[in-house]
Structures are given as C-alpha cells and as structure tokens.
Structure 1
Amino acid sequence: MAGLVAKAKSFISRVLKADIVKVFSLTSISTLVKMCTGLVSVKIVASIIGPAGVALVGQLNNFSTIALSLATGGINSGITKYIAEYKSDASKVKQYLATAFRITVVCSLLVGLVLLLLCKQLSSLIMMTPQYWYVFAIFGITITFYGLNNMLVSVVNGYKQFNKYVKVNVVSSIFGVAFTVALVLALGLPGALISAVTFQSLMIFVSVLMLRKLEWLRKDWLVGKFKRTIASQYFRYALMTLLSAFLVPISQMLLRGYVISEISITEAGWWEGMNRISNMYLMVITSSFSVYYLPRLSEISDRIELRHEIFKCYKVIVPLLLAGFTVIYFLRFFIVKLLFTHEFMPMTQLFIWQMAGDFFKICSWLLAFLMVAKSMTKAYISTEIIFTLSYIL
C-alpha cells in the first residue's frame, strides 16, 4: 500500500513539473476568464433568444469561421512556427513578418469585399432569409481588423511571450463579453448576430494598445519586402488551416441543417448548446496546445527528442482528460441549468457521446499538431478529410 502511495505521489510530482502543465497553469487565468465570460454570454443569449435563436447563431458562427480563416490567409500557425524557429535572428523575423503582413491585408480586404457585394445572397443561403443582409455587410467592413489581430497574437505566441499572450486574452475576453451582452440586451437576436461577426475584429484595438511597446510591432518590421520563397512556406500552412476551416464548419452546417429540416429547429438548438459546452472545455486544451505545444514541436529537430516530447504530453493529458470529463459528466444537469434554460434540459442525454468523441479528438490533436509543426501537409489533409466524412456518416 505504501508503495502504491509513493508511486502516486511520484507520478503527480512529475505531472506538476511538466512544462505543458506549467503552461496550463499560466494560461489557466486566461482560460478561466474566457470560460466565465463565455458562461455569462451563453446564459444571457440563450435566455433572450431561446433554442431557435441559438441554432441561427450557430449557423452564422460556422460561416464566420470560414470567412475569418480566409481573411487571415490561413497562415497563423505558420507565423507561430517560423517566429519560434527564427526568433533569435531579427533579419529573418522581419522577412517573415513583412510577408505575413502583406498576405493578411490582401486576403482580408478581398474577403471583406466579397461579403459586402454578396451580403443579401449570403444571408439567404446561410440564414435562410435575406433579412439579415446587414450582418454580412458589417462583417465585411470589420473583418480586416480580425486578420491583423490574429497575426499579432500569432507573433506573440511564436516569441513565447506567454505573459503578454495571457494578458491580451484576458482583457479581450472581458471586452468581448461586455460588447456581446450590450448588443443582445439592446437588439435581441440581431444584436447576437452582429456580435458574433464583429467582437473578434474589435480586439485589434486591445492588442495594439497592450503590445505597442514590443520591438517587432513597428512599421519597419511589418512593411518590408514581400518574399515569394517565404510565401510558399506559408502556403503549406494555408492549405492545412483553410481545409480545416472549411470542412469542420461545413460539416456542422450540414448536420444542423439536417436536424432543422428533418427533426426541428429546437432540437438543433439543443445540439448547438452541446457544441457550445464542448467548445468551452476544449478551449482549455487548445489554448495550452497552441501556446506551448506548437512552438515546442517547431523548435525540436531531433527525432528521439520529438518522440519523447509527444509521449510525455500523452502521459500528462490522458489522466487529466479522464478526470475532467468524469467531473463534467456528473455535473451535467447543473451545467445545463447554469448555462441555459429549462428548455435545454433534454441535451443532458448528449453529454456521454460528446465527451467520448472529444476524448479521442484531443488525443489525435497531439499528432495533428506534429503535422502542423513539421509541415506534413499531405498527411494532415488526408486525415482531416477522412475525419470529416466519418463525422457526417
């Protein structure tokens, strides 16, 4: 018995000392604030617009994911990877930043123009009515700010400036929920829709204000010569990012549309509510993976060390997932009551299936991040297609 206790203490000690857990701890403040603000936002939005409104916001969120990814050029993971790899070489960093800045500005302006020109058609296609055309027009006007903000945050991540990264995310989360709640209270469903496509773009003002003193946030670092060789390196990341950005939202839109047409919009709202809860706890994992894991894999060149890093993360992540998901499952009725209204209670039946899928999804991400860090484009694209098809089937 004493031996088992000693082994358990040793395991817990190793887990707590692991770098990824240290980053979990550092980002826990940011994640906690995001979750708390998310709780407030979801509760107020669900209470005011109900399951049907939540389903419509879900449709818009899926479309906005595609548009926002196109606006960034899909290169944010590439920015983080190459900044992490060359952060000690200022001249190299300038070249990567200048090329990334050009790509981001051009892509975001083009996407914004398309949104403005096709606002009525997009409203009819996505929202099943042309009456929300103004949402897509506003989206087109503000989307460039989103692209630039994501670029700045990716650079901070690449430099491993974790404290700055956490502070920016905390302030952005608080600002975002205040903006969302104000619009929903003032305008109801239209406010929720406008907030869904604009609050992330407005974060550029928070980021610039908080990062303005950093050396790399200067005109001579951002406005330089466009390098085709660097652009081709970014292009590999664009393929991977944009593929995910298209497949995941489109598959969800197809499934939600199927539920709306074949069952009911209310049950589509329950399904979307389950997705919202899933996104909250997945945010805890993805934030730490993005902050620690991607830059770490990018800077490792030795295969044995790389394998050791991956196995080390599995040893830490799997027990934490099992413990966390067990707690969430037993608290599922409390969680639904806290986040939503009585109309959403039937979604408690979905928890076991959602968490089973999310467990394997997160385990697969440890290898998916390796594909991104090492530019394994073909492997990433093929696995992403297979996953999406199996998800829909």
Structure 2
Amino acid sequence: MLKRRFYFVLFCMEALNGATDLSRIKAGLYFGSTVLVKTLAGLLVIKVLAWKLGPEGFGLLGQLMTLVAIVGMLAGGGITNGLIKVLAKAPLGGAEGKVWYASAFTLSALVSGAVAVLLFALSSTLSSYFLPGVGALLFTVLAVSQVVIAYGNLPLAEASSRGDSRTFSLITVAGTLVGAGLVIMAVWYRGFIGATYAVVLMPAMVGLCAVFYAVVSRRVLLQACRWSFERGRMKLLMSFSMVTLIGALSVPLAQLYMRDALGASQGWEQVGQWQGVIKLSDVYMQFMGVVLINFVLPRIAAAADKRQVFKEWLGSVSALVVVLLSGFAVFYFLRNFLIILVFSSDFLPMTQLLVPQMAGDVLRTIAASISYLFMARGIVRVSFVFELLQGVVLVCAFSMLFDNTGVMAPVYAHLFTYLSLTIVMAFGLLIWMKRKPS
C-alpha cells in the first residue's frame, strides 16, 4: 500500500510538471523504488543501532556519523550538482561532455587525495576527540572510504544528467542494501566498535557499486577519466564545490557544537534522544535530496525561460510538501508505536521533539528547493549564502534558546532557522522572477 501510494504521488508530480510521456513516469517509479529501499534500509539500521547501543551509545555514535557525513559530502570536491548541470546540456557522447567529465575527474582526484592525506595525518587527533577508545585506524579507513565515494559520484552524476533513472536506481539500491547489511552484521557481532567501522564504510558501498558499473557496463566513462586543467571549466565546477563545502560544514558543525553543549548540560542520553529525531529526519530528507538533485535540478537547468522554471519548481515543491505532510501526519498519529518499532521504549521521550523538527523540515524543503532553483540557473552565489546561513542561524538560535528551553533548544532552533531562511529565499525568488532577463 505504501509503495503504491508513493508511486501515485510521483505520478502526480509528473502531471503537475506537464509530463505525459512514459519515460518520465518510469523515472518516477524508479526514484520511488530507490527512496523506498533507502528509507526501509535506513530505518532498519537505526533500529539495530538503537537496540544494541541504547540512547547513550547512539548519542556518542552520532558524533562520528556527523563527521562521516561531512567527509562524504566533501568527497571529490562535492561537484556532483555541477557535473549534472553541465552534462545535462553537453552530454558525454559529445566532445564537450567528455572534456567536462575529464575536468570533474581531475578535480575529484585532487580533492579526494588531499582529504585522504589530511585524514591520515590527523587520524590520532580525530580518534582522541571523537572516539578515544576506538583507535586511529578507524580514520584511516575513513580516508580510503571517501576516495571510493568520490570516484563513485562521477558515474552517478552522469547517469542523472541524461535521465537514466534505471541505472541510478539500481546502483543506489545495491549499494544501500550492501551497506545496511554491513552495519547490521558489524554491530550484531562486534558491538560499538563494529558499528563505528561499519558507519564509516557504509557510504562507500554505493560508490563501489558505481565504479563496478562503470568498469563492467559503461567503459566510455573510464575513457573520459583523464587529466584536464582547463581554467574556465575548473572554475565553474569549483563554484559548485564551494556550495557543497559550505553545506557539508555548516549544519554538521553546528550540530557538533549543539551536541557538546547538550551533552555537557543534560547528559548524553538526552543527546541520544535528539540524535534519534535527527536520524529519522535524515531518512525522509534523503527522499528530498534524491528528488531535488536528480529529478528537479536537471529539469530546471534545461528550462527555456523563467516562466517554465517557476512552473517546474512549483509543481515539484508542491508535491514534495504534500508527501512530507502526509507522512508526518501518519507518523505523528502512530508515534509511540513507531518509535518503539524503529528504536526502543527507551527512546519514547523523543516524542516531545517531533513537532518542531517536522515543521522545520517542511520549511527546510521549501527553502532548499529555491536554493536548487538558483543553482540550476547558474546563480551559485545565492546557494552559497543559503548553505552558510543554515549553520550560522542554527548556532545563534540554539545559543539564545538553550538556557530557557533546555532539551527542546535544538529543535526550536531548527524550526526558527528554516522559518527565517524560507522567508528570505522566497523573497529572493520573487525579486529574481520580477527582474528582466539581461
């Protein structure tokens, strides 16, 4: 029933955007299947981690999860969105597309290599700060993992740029299932230590599947992997990279600060309750990210004028908000049952955190969709400012609210942040729409 309902919503999204051909309906079905698998796998991983580690262990693991998320987003320079945009207009089949892909490969190789060296050098320091009892080897494994992620992002971006949702779906689903299985086995047999290594390796499984696909089924990608240092192309890709860099650091660093403050004042069990809410949010916000990056962004990038851009954006964001609100209504009605099902009865206190978190996530979706609109049209500076403001406003709001609201401060700060940013981004969109084309 859930799967049929999800397919119907994606079909409605297509209808809102004026899509009538069968290929676009198939794309919606593939994205629906992908997100369904990722959601179920994510919930299963959360369940096993929460069950085996408890709120305190889950809270401690949250710090490592944040670092892994930062490193994963930085892998290869974070040029996925930029590569999708340029290849949507200059496919890999042409000479122009091959040069763009080569430039992306060069930038990915340089950045992932630099990050790997940095992680190697700082492995002992990172181990002492994040998980003193685990050891430096964990962060050496993370260095290798992000290299795999970097190279795997290139085939996935190329598939998205040409609308090959089937390939994107198969690679993502395969990697997700392998990664989820790895985490479950590791925490089951090796407890907390096993969980740390599995969390580090899990994101690399999708990258590994993508590299395997390129080697076996799409050799043209390997042929395009050569060194290319054309200044103009590198500069454009790096502009997208800077947006990803700020996005990778802004909110996660803010959450690191908030966890430390909350843990020192309220205890790590309370951090675990908030971490549970964050992980639930991450699961369904993955759906938002998949649709915005691989479905909405290429279509807005290819739109002919502002009117078509606005039509594509409005139809997509309307459907996304409907999906979110419907899902939140069901979840909130069944919240006690679902929290025990996904986590355990120890996590029931997190129910008080749900409403402000969910409201903030709806607003976050709207604000982020406007940011992707500007990115797709090449106005990267707006997306850069948006990513930066997320972390800045979040920390400021948390600091102001913490003394009076205690454990509720993180979710209230989350709601305030995205209410503010939605207003700002909507105002920016209105100004852009009224401005005459240059």
> Residues 29-68 of structure 1 correspond to what in structure 2 (within 5 A)?
29-68=33-72
Is residue 263 from structure 1 mapped to residue 266 from structure 2 by the alignment?
yes
Among 209, 212, 220, the residue aligned to 2:212: 209
Cα deviation digits, residues 54-100 of structure 1 (max 9, x gap):
11221111112222233321211101111112117610111011111
**Distance change (3 Å), C-alpha of 1:141 and 1:172:** closer
Cα deviation digits, residues 315-336 of structure 1 (max 9, x gap):
3333333222211211211221
The normalised TM-score by structure 2 is 0.82
**Distance change (3 Å), C-alpha of 1:382 and 1:322:** same
Aligned to 2:375: 372
- Whether the 8 Å contact between 1:70 and 1:242 is mirrored in structure 2 is yes
Distance in 1 between the 2:115 and 2:183 partners? 23
> Residues 317-332 of structure 1 correspond to what in structure 2 (within 5 A)?
317-332=320-335
**Distance change (3 Å), C-alpha of 1:315 and 1:273:** closer
- Compute the displacement of 1:224 (Å): 4.6
Among 84, 96, 109, the residue aligned to 1:105: 109
Which residue identity does 1:176 align to in structure 2? G
Distance in 1 between the 2:367 and 2:264 partners? 32
Cα deviation digits, residues 198-247 of structure 1 (max 9, x gap):
1222433322333432253232x111533221100101101111001010
- Whether the 8 Å contact between 2:56 and 2:269 is mirrored in structure 1 is yes
Partner of 2:136, secondary structure, is: helix
- Compute the displacement of 1:121 (Å): 0.5
Is residue 195 from structure 1 mapped to residue 198 from structure 2 by the alignment?
yes
**Distance change (3 Å), C-alpha of 1:217 and 1:331:** same
- Compute the displacement of 1:13 (Å): 8.8
Distance in 2 between the 1:373 and 1:346 partners? 41
- Whether the 8 Å contact between 1:95 and 1:224 is mirrored in structure 2 is no
The normalised TM-score by structure 1 is 0.91
Among 68, 86, 99, the residue aligned to 1:95: 99
Among 211, 229, 233, the residue aligned to 2:232: 229
- Whether the 8 Å contact between 1:72 and 1:151 is mirrored in structure 2 is no
Identity of aligned residues (%): 24
Partner of 1:240, secondary structure, is: helix
**Distance change (3 Å), C-alpha of 1:215 and 1:351:** same
Aligned to 1:338: 341
- Compute the displacement of 1:39 (Å): 2.0
Deviates more, 1:101-110 or 1:204-213: 204-213
- Whether the 8 Å contact between 1:260 and 1:267 is mirrored in structure 2 is yes
The alignment covers a number of residue pairs equal to 381
Aligned to 1:361: 364
- Compute the displacement of 1:178 (Å): 1.1
- Whether the 8 Å contact between 1:64 and 1:197 is mirrored in structure 2 is yes
Deviates more, 1:280-289 or 1:382-391: 382-391
Deviates more, 1:75-84 or 1:149-158: 149-158
Which residue identity does 1:17 align to in structure 2? A
Among 149, 159, 169, the residue aligned to 1:166: 169
Where structure 1 has 5 or more consecutive residues not aligned to the other structure, the ranges are 1-10
Aligned to 1:185: 188
> Residues 137-156 of structure 1 correspond to what in structure 2 (within 5 A)?
137-156=140-159
Distance in 2 between the 1:12 and 1:46 partners? 32
Is residue 25 from structure 1 mapped to residue 25 from structure 2 by the alignment?
no
Among 286, 290, 296, the residue aligned to 1:287: 290
- Whether the 8 Å contact between 2:371 and 2:382 is mirrored in structure 1 is no
Distance in 2 between the 1:82 and 1:330 partners? 44
Which residue identity does 2:34 align to in structure 1? S
Distance in 2 between the 1:249 and 1:67 partners? 11
Which residue identity does 1:55 align to in structure 2? G
**Distance change (3 Å), C-alpha of 1:389 and 1:25:** same
Distance in 2 between the 1:323 and 1:110 partners? 44
- Whether the 8 Å contact between 2:300 and 2:376 is mirrored in structure 1 is yes
**Distance change (3 Å), C-alpha of 1:44 and 1:114:** same
- Whether the 8 Å contact between 2:10 and 2:28 is mirrored in structure 1 is no
- Whether the 8 Å contact between 1:120 and 1:132 is mirrored in structure 2 is yes
Distance in 2 between the 1:321 and 1:83 partners? 30
Aligned to 1:6: none
Distance in 1 between the 2:190 and 2:161 partners? 39
- Compute the displacement of 1:386 (Å): 2.8
Deviates more, 1:74-83 or 1:311-320: 311-320
Partner of 2:203, secondary structure, is: coil
Where structure 2 has 5 or more consecutive residues not aligned to the other structure, the ranges are 1-8, 398-438
Partner of 1:223, secondary structure, is: coil
Identify which of structures 1 and 2 has the higher relative contact order when contacts are C-alpha pairs closer than 8 Å and 6+ apart: 1
- Whether the 8 Å contact between 1:332 and 1:348 is mirrored in structure 2 is yes
**Distance change (3 Å), C-alpha of 1:295 and 1:126:** same
Deviates more, 1:352-361 or 1:196-205: 196-205
Among 74, 83, 86, the residue aligned to 2:87: 83
- Compute the displacement of 1:290 (Å): 1.7
